[in-house]
Structure 1
Amino acid sequence: MTVNILIHIGPPKTGTSAIQFCLKNDRKRLAEAGIFYPEHTTDINGISSGNLNSIFDTVGDDRVLNEAKITQLLELCNRSNFHTLLLSSEFFFERLADIVELLPSARFIAYVRNPLDSFESLYNQSVKRHHHTKPIKNSAKLPRFYLAKLDKFIDQFSAKRFILRSYSSKAFVGGNIIADFYSILGVTPPDNIINQINPSYSFEALEFKRWLNQFCSPQIALKADKLLQAFSSDTQRFTLLNAETFERYKIQAYDYVNDFCVKYDVYMSAALLEDIYSCVSKPYFEQKLSLDQFKVVANYLHECNPSLYRSICYSLYLVSYRRCFRSEFGQYITSKYKLSEVANKNMFKSIITKFINKLAGRHIDEHTVISTISSDDLVRLRAKLHIEDSISDADLLRELAVLAEKNDDIGLAYRLMSRAMVLRPSGPLIKSKLKYYEQRIENEKRLNS
């Protein structure tokens, strides 16, 4: 039996997370309809890379298409009498050329979205999930983003291989992205549809997260993201584009999509174009939070997850030499807890200096726990610094802490000295230094309050 291969490629910011979440939880019903959708995992936000690992392998820092995996999937479909193999991942959009070469009969499902919406959505996503800290960049010309790349792919691989749909509430079959996608499959959508898996931030949540990205670890960011998505305010609907920029981009967006739809058959393109033409700007907000707005979000996080708040507070103490700590936002966050109140439970959460990497002779991520420095690392430290074996690990860490102190990196000095105290809990010098570092940070906080 010939198996039809349908590959959903997104592109990003076209409801992929909601589609994948639904497909993952509807695998049994899809199988009954003759469609095999391979299992995949999701993170705590319900987000996943879809079926990426179903056909790709990780090789070093790269992804490599695995022909054997594809063969196994097709054999499974034949054995189980599935007429369709359905795969979904936004990563496929970036590696389409590889997939086309290996699967010449596959067809690709892609949604076309208003580039103006994509522009802001992609920026917001960069703040939410990719530690972006800079304000949105408004250039003279609206980027075409994925529309330009999709145009290139279709021109290269033939329009017959693409199923193009309009990403617009006015164009969706059944009024939502899930029902529209299921209409492509010829399957009735499930009753319990969840259309939004990756909800947008409010303005305050977005700006709070952008500030948080300056110093927090990816682990803390992920936990904060989940809570910030649930934070609601009067600014759920907003734009970061002023009126002049919005109108300019709107005209450009219409022209981009119109040119694309003239070239290719996009389902319900007229509705999509009408949606772009009639779109109205949301309320504009300049990217700057007031202290009162900041306090509301900070208090919300503290109330929802005190442990997470303490982790944020501790992370700030460890960068006490930076502007984000000295700012009114930083001073407010740390006003609830002293360093000694948050350090014990969150000790050694991050390494932020290249100094340790150079001395250890291997890369240690800035958020890796200091306690993961092994005895072998300390041996290398000794060799590089020409330190005799008679000097203990505690002494070595203590002296590194003093060196960090002399460089005014009190956060790092505190972490290193705390690590030394684990090895020598009764050391009087170590104890006195820790108290001194705590006092230094507390004094700096009071001076800036």
Structure 2
Amino acid sequence: MATVYLHIGAPKTATSSLQAMLAAHHDDLLAAGILYPATCRHGDAHHVLVADLIDKYQANPMPDIWYGDFPRGQAWSRLRAELAAAGPTVHTAIVSSELFFGQSINIERMLGDIQAALAGHDVRVLMYLRRQDQLYASFYNQDVKGARQWPGSAYEFYETHQIFQRDYDQVVDMWGAAFGHANLRVRPFEPAQWPGGDMVKDFCQVTGLPPLRAVGAEPNDGLGANQLYIKRCLNHMGYDKADNDRVVGLLLNLCKESPLKSVRYVNMGCYGRLRERWTRTNQRLGAVVGDGGNFFQAPVPEPAAVPEYALDRALLGDFLQRLLAAGLGGHLGSLRGLFARAALLVIAEQGLWDAVSGSDRVTFESWV
């Protein structure tokens, strides 16, 4: 039976690009005896496999946007059927979803279901780990920007999101206990540790794939500081997840700003405590799956070396004026009320009473 590689993430480690590449090369890979299953995918990734486990073992089922037209509850049976139908010519299968990595609630039972579904196959688990400060900053930004529509602070995000409930070494131990530590492939998301600085080469070498070329995936840049704040205000208002791409596209047109790179969303004391914890974790991780040193070559930077998250009041004022002009010009469509409510929240929270006149505030109110 085929060896199955479970590529479980972590999030923000180019998973979407790898999934797009594997889906685009499906036929070529199959001709080489490598299956990237197609019948249990919605889009390029195998998120529906994890979504079905979440539906089964966690209180809040995944929104329909994760499924599209895919029927709930059928992902694992479809995977088993596709693996069985592939026959002896297929020696390797790759299943990829970063949602695997982020689960902690009832994860032991989830792992039991995965073991049962893949019984008879050699299973190898591949995870790429991004340095924790980078993951925290990038993932928070993405959850505010994306369809999850996170409305809260970075403090709340870290304390409540499942992905931060276990340290990296604990995640490694958990998956190793389920599938054997010898079957784990744990790689740093750090170009200095990839062959030629190329992650695709690293992925192909680890999984035994023939050399592949990356394909043009949609860019997944984060938001700028002020865009992020405005999107949080929009998320506070609440709207259909299916409209999220439209909302983001309109926001990017109304507020021009470069994406955030290195940033510290929390105060120096909180970051310092997190840094100590992450540093200890990386030392333990290096001892377990590395060469005995730190898992990452570059250390987590000191708090003072990371720019603090800050807003630009002038840019927020410019956004309000652009929004007003767009609304008066009929360019906001069905999203006018949503953006007007968010604009009033921006004005109130940031004290931008001088950025728009009283009559303009009345105009925003009339759109609500």
Per the normalisation by structure 1, the TM-score is 0.60
How much is the aligned-residue C-alpha RMSD, in angstroms?
4.2
Against the structure 1 CA distance between its residues 206 and 254, is the aligned structure 2 distance closer, same or farther, given a 3 Å change threshold?
A: same
In the alignment, which residue of structure 1 is the partner of 2:34? 35
CA contact under 8 A between 2:6 and 2:94: conserved in structure 1? yes
2:188 aligns with one of 148, 156, 166: 166
- Match of 1:233, SS? coil
Q: Say if 2:145 is the partner of 1:121.
A: no
- Match of 1:151, SS? helix
Gapped regions of structure 1 (runs ≥ 5): 43-47, 340-440
C-alpha separation between the residues in 1 aligned to 2:342 and 2:271? 38
C-alpha separation between the residues in 2 aligned to 1:196 and 1:151? 34
In the alignment, which residue of structure 1 is the partner of 2:117? 102
CA contact under 8 A between 1:23 and 1:37: conserved in structure 2? yes
Q: Say if 2:265 is the partner of 1:257.
A: no
CA contact under 8 A between 1:11 and 1:146: conserved in structure 2? no
C-alpha separation between the residues in 1 aligned to 2:31 and 2:320? 46
C-alpha separation between the residues in 1 aligned to 2:339 and 2:347? 6
- Write out per-residue CA displacement over residues 387-411 of structure 1, whole angstroms, 9 at most, x where no aligned residue: xxxxxxxxxxxxxxxxxxxxxxxxx
Amino acid of the residue matched to residue 316 of structure 2? Q
2:228 aligns with one of 195, 206, 213: 206
C-alpha separation between the residues in 1 aligned to 2:25 and 2:244? 30
C-alpha separation between the residues in 2 aligned to 1:26 and 1:279? 42
2:247 aligns with one of 201, 205, 224: 224
Shift of 1:255: 0.9
Residues paired across the two proteins, number? 328
In the alignment, which residue of structure 1 is the partner of 2:87? 78
Shift of 1:183: 1.9
Larger radius of gyration: 1
Shift of 1:226: 4.5
Q: Say if 2:313 is the partner of 1:290.
A: yes
**Matches of residues 129-148 of structure 1 in structure 2 within 5 Å?**
129=146, 130-137=148-155, 143=164, 145=166, 147=168, 148=170
Amino acid of the residue matched to residue 97 of structure 1? G
Against the structure 1 CA distance between its residues 332 and 96, is the aligned structure 2 distance closer, same or farther, given a 3 Å change threshold?
A: farther
In the alignment, which residue of structure 1 is the partner of 2:258? 233
Shift of 1:87: 1.0
Shift of 1:209: 0.9
In the alignment, which residue of structure 2 is the partner of 1:88? 96
Per the normalisation by structure 2, the TM-score is 0.71
Q: Say if 2:203 is the partner of 1:181.
A: yes
C-alpha separation between the residues in 1 aligned to 2:325 and 2:83? 50
CA contact under 8 A between 2:286 and 2:295: conserved in structure 1? no
C-alpha separation between the residues in 2 aligned to 1:186 and 1:83? 11
C-alpha separation between the residues in 2 aligned to 1:197 and 1:11? 18
CA contact under 8 A between 1:177 and 1:195: conserved in structure 2? no
Tell me which of the two structures has the higher relative contact order, counting C-alpha pairs closer than 8 angstroms and 6 or more residues apart. 2
- Match of 2:298, SS? helix
Shift of 1:72: 1.6
Amino acid of the residue matched to residue 152 of structure 2? K
Amino acid of the residue matched to residue 25 of structure 1? A
CA contact under 8 A between 1:57 and 1:66: conserved in structure 2? yes
- Match of 1:284, SS? coil
CA contact under 8 A between 1:115 and 1:145: conserved in structure 2? no
Shift of 1:215: 1.6
Against the structure 1 CA distance between its residues 124 and 269, is the aligned structure 2 distance closer, same or farther, given a 3 Å change threshold?
A: farther
- Match of 1:87, SS? strand
C-alpha separation between the residues in 2 aligned to 1:205 and 1:220? 17
In the alignment, which residue of structure 2 is the partner of 1:413? none
Amino acid of the residue matched to residue 76 of structure 1? A
1:215 aligns with one of 237, 243, 251: 237
Shift of 1:99: 0.6
In the alignment, which residue of structure 1 is the partner of 2:106? none
C-alpha separation between the residues in 2 aligned to 1:170 and 1:298? 45
Shift of 1:88: 0.7
